[in-house]
Amino acid sequence: MPTATWQRLDPGRRERITRAAMAEFGRHGYSAGSLNTVARTAGVAKGSLFQYFEGKLDFFQYVAETAAQGVRDALAPWLGTIPDGTGYHDFFCGGVLAWVDYFGDHPLERGVIAATHLEVDPDVRTAVHAPARRLYSAEVTSLARQAVQRGDFRPGADPETFAALVSVLLPHLAVAPFEPGFEGPVPLYGLSRDELRSRALALASGLYGGFGPVPEAPKPYAP
């Protein structure tokens, strides 16, 4: 975790270093990411980075957790409690569309998500996935359990299985629409915003359909 020296640093300086690290790790990943480049881009001495963090992995974990927290803050309206009068299908689909929109507008955070999921070192990958699991998995599972209690899911539907499948879909939707080389059976890259949202909605509804009925005329929730 960041040292006390980092915590005392001017907020603007912390922001420059964090954004420079997001750009470098997002482009090259942890293993190939260069602290020299981060320091040069941020306008600090490389040695300063080791006054702020215990090492490169500690720095990367901080960057991954910062990116994950930014996503969580942006998605806050779709977390916590399903609003009264809103079916979970429409609530879930609204959150998925907000997720896609967020990563379309935040390329640095998108790069960090890609870097964490594509990291070749299993120890590093395990370390940096932990913040995302804490921030997302518990939230999605809680919402799925609410769906069971409300009767949105079919009897016997397993909320943990739903959450596990969502954890596969969301990283794909964070990266594949915006970066080449991630194509799957459903093309997402290079689409207009409306086309992308339509296909993301189809994927979200398709996943949801294994657990509960899909409305004939879905209206994704927007706060």
Residue 158: C-alpha distances to residues 79, 94, 107, 194 (Å): 19, 21, 34, 32
pLDDT (0 to 100) of residue 136: 72
Report residue 105 CA to chain centroid gap. 13
pLDDT in tens, the chain (223 residues): 899 999 999 999 999 999 999 999 999 989 899 999 999 999 999 999 999 999 999 999 999 889 988 998 999 999 889 999 999 999 999 999 999 999 999 999 999 988 888 888 888 887 777 666 666 778 899 999 999 999 999 999 999 999 999 989 999 999 999 988 888 899 999 999 999 999 999 999 999 999 999 999 889 999 8
The answer to whether 109 and 206 are in contact (CB under 8 A) is no
Considering the entire predicted model, what is its pTM? 0.91
Give dist(CA 200, CA 223) in Å, integer. Answer: 19
* Burial (CB count within 10 angstroms: exposed 0-12, middle 13-18, buried 19+), residue 140: buried
Three-state secondary-structure class, residue 156: coil
Structure token digits, residue 187: 């093309």
Residue type, 141: T
CA distance 220 to 94: 4
Q: Is 192 helix (H, G, I), strand (E, B) or coil?
A: coil
Q: Which residue has the tokens 């596990």?
A: 164
Q: What local confidence, expressed as pLDDT, does residue 138 receive?
A: 84
| φ/ψ bin of 187: left (φ > 0), alpha (ψ from -120 to 50), beta (otherwise) | beta
CA angle 121, 164, 79 (to 5 degrees): 105
Confidence (pLDDT) at 131: 60
Q: Which amino acid is at 56?
A: K
Task: Determine the pLDDT at residue 48.
Answer: 92
The pLDDT score that the predictor gives to residue 123 is 81
